Amino acid sequence: MKDVTNKYETLREAVAEARMSLDSEAIDLLKRRATDKGDALECARVAGVMAAKNSPSIIPFCHPLPITYANVEYEFESPGLAIRARVKTIAVTGVEMEALTAASVAALTLYDMLKPHTENIEIQSIRLLEKSGGKSDFKAVLDPPIKAAVFVLSDTIAAGKKEDRAGKAAMEFLQSPNVGEQHYEILPDEPDLLRERIGWAKEHGFDLILAVGGTGLSARDKTVEALREMIDREIPGISEASRAYGQRRTPYAMLSRGIAGMSGGSLIVALPGSTKGARQSCEALFPAIFHVFHVMRGGRHKGGYGS
């Protein structure tokens, strides 16, 4: 199976359609709900819902998901029937296969219940009509791309006694068409120096500033205090998203004192100094965080907020 451990949960939805060609006798039997085996439409609806919930049992690489909604609807269209299955979940991967399976099994159930009455039955097509909620839905396209700076805060790394891995992990998430010029710098845990370098980054037009390290509880961890003085508008949801993602993976995430917000036209985000903490925080935030700059440039939220 594909490893989806590091993906974040979103509301996922998919609609699939199966089309059947039926003669007038079959259509009449369906409308009157009068096949020899009973109400074919309702039986097929139940079969489709059960199929959606059991897709991983018959499709080997399909991930088991908590299905929060599944239904099958019908529309009679000459010369036959359109079967549409809609499935929803809140999970790390989509429900396209569940919707396709539901539509397929509903069509097969109708075939089974109609075949004693007529041979003029054909399942013509099964296709995905729509899907939503995947990572592609949250990918902003920024033109021109933003400028991003990463400042690593660590006395040990600044003294050359240890190699930086957390900052480099954060840099990996900036390798995107949405990011142009990048700056990377290692600093000791000195709040005044951090404020000075962030001021430099703002003056040079850096849109995104990541401060990696100094978010813990040791005496030298002063990154959050330094950034709080510079942030004009705090965005609590960014740190909340990062911590919520981390807490699903380790209880130690509760010890991180992240902060994020706007300082003038720049977005400043504090990330943990551990490699795993920085990487997991970035997994939670990217690529959705690019939407901040889409909105700042006058863009709208997809599916709402005036769109």
Could you tell me if 132 and 43 are in contact, meaning their C-beta atoms sit under 8 angstroms apart?
no
Q: Which residue has the tokens 């059991």?
A: 54
Q: Which residue has the tokens 């990696």?
A: 212
Report, as residue numbers or ranges, the catalytic residues.
Answer: 112
Closest CA to 272 of 259, 258, 286, 291: 258
DSSP track, the chain: ----TTSPPEEEEEEEEEEEEE-HHHHHHHHHT-BTTB-HHHHHHHHHHHHHHTHHHHSTTPPP--EEEEEEEEEEETTEEEEEEEEEEEESS--HHHHHHHHHHHHHHHHHHHTTT-S-EEEEEEEEEEEE-SGGGG----SSPEEEEEEEE-HHHHTTSS---HHHHHHHTT-STTEEEEEEEEE-S-HHHHHHHHHHHHHTT-SEEEEES--SSSTT--HHHHHHTT-SEE-HHHHHHHHHHHHTT-GGGGG----EEEETTEEEEEE-SSHHHHHHHHHHHTTGGGHHHHHHTT---TTSTT-
